[in-house]
Amino acid sequence: MKKRWWKEAVVYQIYPISFKDSNGDGIGDLQGIISKLEYIRDLGVDVVWLCPIYQSPNHDNGYDISDYQAIMDQFGTMADFDLLLETAHALGLKIVMDLVVNHTSDEHPWFIEARSSVDSPKRDYYIWRKGKDGGLPNNWESYFSGSVWEYDEKTDEYYMHLYTKHQPDLNWENEEVVNQINDMVRWWLDKGIDGFRFDAIAHIVKAVGLPDAPDPEHLPYVRAYSLFSNLEKVHKLLRNLNEEVLDQYNIMTVGETSGLGPEQALDYIGDERNELNMVFQFEHMQMDAAAGGTGKWHLKPWTLLDLKNILSKWQTVLHGKGWNANYLCNHDQPRSVSRFGNDGKYRKESAKMLATLLLTLEGTPYIFQGEEIGMTNPKFELIEEYRDVETLNHYHESQKNGVPLEKIMESIWKKSRDNSRTPMQWDSAPHAGFTTGKPWIQVNSNYKEVNVQNDLQDQDSILHYYKKLIALRKHKDALIYGEYKLLLPLNPDLYVYIRTLEDEQVLIILNFFDETPTFTLPEDLKGRKPQLLLSNYEVEEEGIQSFEMRPYEARIYQLKSK
Ligand code: GLC
Ligand code: CA
C-alpha cells in the first residue's frame, strides 16, 4: 500500500463560531483559535480542519459564502488568518479549509449580478428556470425542508437551492464558474494551506433536464437524492480540478459524499482516479433514521450489528484500493457519546471506548472539537435556545403538520445539529471559559464537570486517553496500514477486530453497552501471546482466553507469536 502523510495523520475539526472567543462578543474567532493551537498540538494531532471562516451573512453558519477571499468580520481579518496559518505551521500542524462550492450566499456579488436581469452576463452562474404549469419547476425537496426553488419576482423565474434559499446552487455546467473556482482554490493553496474538505461535493451536478422525482404518494416535495447526487459528471469535474490546480500541491482532500456505498466511493477515491483522497460516508450516520423524505428526524434505534456491518464493509472494500475517513461525530451530527455511548453514568468509559474505535480503524480519524473531553448533547428545554436553520425549519414544518410538541423536541434532542455546536467547554468559569460575554448559543449545563481544565488535571481523563491513543497509533504501523478483519461478527454486544501488517497483529476488543458479556478468544488466535497496549480500565489478569468485560470496556492488545 502506498504510504502517504495524510494516511498517517489524525485530524481535529474546529467549528470556529463555538471554539474560543477572544474578544467577548460571544462568537468564537481566529484569535481564539490561535490561542488554543498549542492545546491542539499537545493532543498529538497533525491536521486542523477549519469549518468555513469566509465572509458570510451566516444564514448557515458560514456555509453561505459571500466572498471566498475574505474572512468573516466576526472571525477576524486576513492578517489574523495569516498568523493562524503561520503559528500552526510553526507548531507542526497543517490547516485544511472547508471548500463550499455547491452554492454561494445570495449576497455573493455573482448572485447579486445574476439576479439583476435575465440578460446578466452572470445569470448562468446559477440554476434558473421558469415555473411549470403555474407551479414550481420541479418537485425536489430542499435538505432544509420545503422546495429547492425560490421565486424571484423581478425576473419571474425560480432559482435552485438544495439548502436554504440564501444558498443558491452554482451552475457547474458553466465553464466560467469552473474557472473562477479554480482560481480561488489556487489562491488559497498559494497561501500555503494544506488541503480542503469539499462540502456537499456529491451534489454539484444535477440530472439533465431537472426531471421530477417519482412521487407515488403525491407529496408536496420529494427528496430526489439520485437526481442530484454522485452523478457521473461530478467525477469529470473533480479530475479537471486536479489536473488544473490540485496536482501541483502536496495537499489532502476529503469530500462530503452522502448517499453512497464503498464501491461507489471508489469512483472518487480509487488510487487511480485522481479525484479525492478520502470521502466522508454517511451509512453509519443514517442507520438510526427512517428512509426517504425527512427521514433524518424519524428516530429509529441503531444496533451494534448494523454498525459493525457498515464499518466492516467500508474497511474491507476500500482496503488496498482507497482510504477511509473515519468519524463518529461532526458539526452536523449529534455528539458521539450521546449517540453511540452513554452520556450518563458511563460517560467517561464509553467516550474512551468510542475513541478506541475511531483511532484503531483503517483510515484517517477525524476528531470533532469537544469529543476529546466527552462533550454531550445539551438537551435544551426550549426551542428558543436552538439556532440551527435546519432544526428551526424542521420545528416549524412539524408544527404546521400537527406533530405534538414532545415528539418534535424529542427528535431535536437526538438529532439537531446544535447538539454538537454548543461552545467548547474549556473550564468551570462562566460560559465554560468560552467567552467573557454572552455566547451566541447556550453552553451545555454540564460544563462544570465536563471541561478541558478538569481533564488536563486528571491523568485518567478522556483527554489523556485520547493522547495515549493518538501516540499509540503513531507508533504502530499495523494501526495505520494493517488490514482489518472483523471477529465475532454475530456477537450483538461486542465489537472485536484485528489489524494485521506482516507479522504485527493488534487486537481490539470493545464492549458497546453497560452489560458484562464474556469475551472468548477465537480458536485460531489461541497460540498468540497477548501484550496489553491500552485499556480504559485497570487490567490485572494476564491471559485473554476468556474474561468478563466491564461496561463499555475497551482493550487493545498486541499479539505476538510465542
Ligand atoms: C454540509 C455542511 C453543512 C451545511 C451544508 C450546506 O452538509 O457540513 O453544515 O449546512 O453542507 O453547505
Ligand atoms: Ca469573538
For residue 496, CA distances in Å to 146, 371, 470, 489, 543 come to: 43, 22, 19, 8, 17
Quick one: 61 and 133 in the same domain?
no
Ligand 2 mean position to 32 CA, how many Å?
Answer: 7
Question: 413, 437, 466: which is the final residue of a domain?
Answer: 466
Domain count, the chain: 3
Question: 415, 441, 466: which is the final residue of a domain?
Answer: 466
Quick one: 276 and 327 in the same domain?
yes
Ligand 2 mean position to 200 CA, how many Å?
Answer: 27
Quick one: 523 and 495 in the same domain?
yes
For ligand 1, say whether the CB of 297 is within 6 Å of any of its atoms: no
Domain CATH code at residue 122: 3.90.400.10
Q: Does residue 472 form part of some domain?
A: no
Does pTM top 0.85 for this prediction? yes
Distance CA 363, CA 98 (A): 20
Q: Does residue 231 form part of some domain?
A: no
Domain CATH code at residue 319: 3.20.20.80
- The string of DSSP codes covering 469-529 is HHHHHHH-HHHHHPEEEEESTT-SSEEEEEEEETTEEEEEEEE-SSS-PEEE--GGGTTEE
Quick one: 75 and 144 in the same domain?
no
In degrees, rounded to 5, the angle at the alpha carbon of residue 269 between the alpha carbons of residues 267 and 275 is 85
| Range of the structural domain that residue 524 is part of | 481-561
For ligand 1, say whether the CB of 100 is within 6 Å of any of its atoms: yes
H or E element that contains 457: helix 452-457
Quick one: 302 and 343 in the same domain?
yes
Q: Does residue 218 form part of some domain?
A: no
For ligand 1, say whether the CB of 60 is within 6 Å of any of its atoms: yes
Domain CATH code at residue 553: 2.60.40.1180
- From 163, 257, 258, the mutation candidate for ligand 1 (largest count of ligand atoms within 8 A of CB) is 163
Quick one: 70 and 191 in the same domain?
yes
Quick one: 346 and 437 in the same domain?
yes
Quick: pLDDT tens for 273-321. Answer: 999 999 999 999 999 887 655 678 888 889 999 999 999 999 999 999 9
Quick: pLDDT tens for 312-352. Answer: 999 999 999 999 999 999 999 999 999 999 999 999 999 99
Residues 6+ apart with CB under 8 A from 33: 14, 16, 19, 20, 50, 84
Question: Which ligand has the shortest distance to the CA of 35?
Answer: 2
Quick one: 80 and 147 in the same domain?
no
Q: Does residue 259 form part of some domain?
A: yes
Quick one: 369 and 513 in the same domain?
no
Show pLDDT as tens, one digit a residue, over the chain (562 residues). Answer: 899 999 999 999 999 999 999 999 999 999 999 999 999 999 999 999 999 999 999 999 999 999 999 999 999 999 999 999 999 999 999 999 999 999 999 999 999 999 999 999 999 999 999 999 999 999 999 999 899 999 999 999 999 999 999 999 999 999 999 999 999 999 999 999 999 999 999 999 999 999 999 998 888 999 899 999 999 999 999 999 999 999 999 999 999 999 999 999 999 999 899 999 999 999 999 998 876 556 788 888 899 999 999 999 999 999 999 999 999 999 999 999 999 999 999 999 999 999 999 999 999 999 999 999 999 999 999 999 999 999 999 999 999 999 999 999 999 999 999 999 999 999 999 999 999 999 999 999 999 999 999 999 999 999 999 999 999 999 999 999 999 999 999 999 999 999 999 999 999 999 999 999 999 999 999 888 899 999 999 998 777 899 999 999 999 999 988 6
Of ligand 1's listed atoms, the one at least distance from the Cα of 102 is 12
For ligand 1, say whether the CB of 163 is within 6 Å of any of its atoms: yes
Catalytically active residues, by annotation: 199, 256
C-alpha cell, 288 = 438510526
